[in-house]
Copies of this chain bind each other. A is one copy, B any other.
Amino acid sequence: MTGGAQLMQAEAEERYEAFHTECPARDVVDHVTSRWGIWVLISLRSNDLRFYELRKSIQGISEKMLAQTLRALVQDGLVWRKVEPTTPPQVTYGLTEFGRDVGEPLTELFDRITRRLSPRSAGARPAH
């Protein structure tokens, strides 16, 4: 495992290098894997939600952090934002194609972890 592994590592290293430095992808990854980003994306995966709905959907998030997280995700092109100029105002958020694209592995990640940790609800699997 030490012999040929070095070559593979060289490849991997080169690839991640672009990434750890100034690649814009780094920011997106940070936003997605941010404390609240992942839950926003997963929540919006099932359907579009308004600010208020989103807030109560994600337990423990403050208005500030929700707004902040949403802003970052909208800027990254993962989430769209639709404003209805009614009274009271109504703002809806949803996933863009990119957002759904990213949300899929995110949900998969979440599923695999919960599946592994709650053997009673999703079939017992032997721990490593």
Contact = CB atoms under 8 A, between A and B. Distances in A.
Interface in A61-113: 72, 75, 77, 80, 96-98, 101-102, 104-106, 108-110, 112-113
Interface string A11-22: 111001101110
Interface string A102-128: 101110111011101110011001111
Interface residues of A, number: 64
A20 B77 CA distance: 26
Each complex incorporates copies of this chain amounting to 2
A34 B128 CA distance: 16
Contacts of A96: 128
Interface of A: 1-2, 5, 8-9, 11-13, 16-17, 19-21, 23-25, 28-30, 32-35, 38-39, 42-43, 45-49, 53, 57-60, 72, 75, 77, 80, 96-98, 101-102, 104-106, 108-110, 112-114, 116-118, 121-122, 125-128
